Amino acid sequence: MTARDGLERFSLDGKVALVTGATRGLGLEIARGMAAAGATVGVNGRDPERAGEIAKSIPNAFAAAFDITDLPAATEALDAIVARHGRLDCLVNNAAVRDRRALHDITADDFRRLIETNLVAQYELSRGAARHMVERGQGRLVFISSMVVPQSFHGDPAYMASKGGLEALMRALAVELGDKGIAVNAIAPGFFLTERNAPFFAKPSIAELARRIPLRRFGRPDELVGAAIFLASDAASYITGHVLTVDAGLSVAL
């Protein structure tokens, strides 16, 4: 194998991917990165206008506007992507909601709403995507989970419970779908400086946390892109059921 052959295994040329929650933050950077690697990328978001604007700004991208908790709409969108592009090679389950309140402030109804978005919707999307992938005998499902750190840093038990469930779902799907040619993995991001996380990073306790990160800084959103491209590419053809932690070493330092 030549060096060029090795690099080509990381290419996403000819592949079709859908990234949920891709109109901002980590999802937006993942969509941009996958498109730059050669994929045709569906930009998902609830706001059709914003999804359309983002898609126009990314070469080889198209808008895929729907609310992931609207299960019939999600199924219809997946069918439409395959009808239009002839295939769906990768689904990146990135869209999620967060509730950083403490346990006594989160009611059972609040918890159910969060689980519906972060776990149930992603289950149904994966089920729909897998249906199309099975027909071709290959595909990639990638979940964006969460690095598990002490509760004092997070203060969001419902969110962490949903992400823990997501990792368990990933492992179960890896076992069930492996013989059908579908690899299922997850990425566990550490602390990334997204616009939505700005109030969180303003907390003194979080500023102190940066000193405990081996690389001594928080992550830039574009620094998660390589992991997503890798797991979607042929370079990861023998990897499934794995959680790839991207946290600058924080999880091993705590």
Burial class (CB in 10 A: 0-12, 13-18, 19+), 67: middle
238 is catalytic: no
Pure H helices in the chain? 3-8, 25-36, 48-57, 71-85, 108-115, 121-136, 151-154, 157-177, 198-201, 204-209, 225-232, 250-253
Residue type, 61: A
Choosing from 62, 66, 143, 159, the catalytic residue is: 159
> Residue 192's closest CA among 219, 217, 210, 166?
219
CA distance 98 to 160: 9
Contacts of residue 55, defined as CB under 8 A and 6 or more positions apart, other chains included, come to: 43, 61, 62, 63
DSSP 8-state symbol, 223: G
| C-beta of residue 173 within 8 angstroms of C-beta of residue 130 | yes
> Residue 218's closest CA among 189, 196, 245, 188?
189
Q: Which amino acids are annotated catalytic?
A: 159
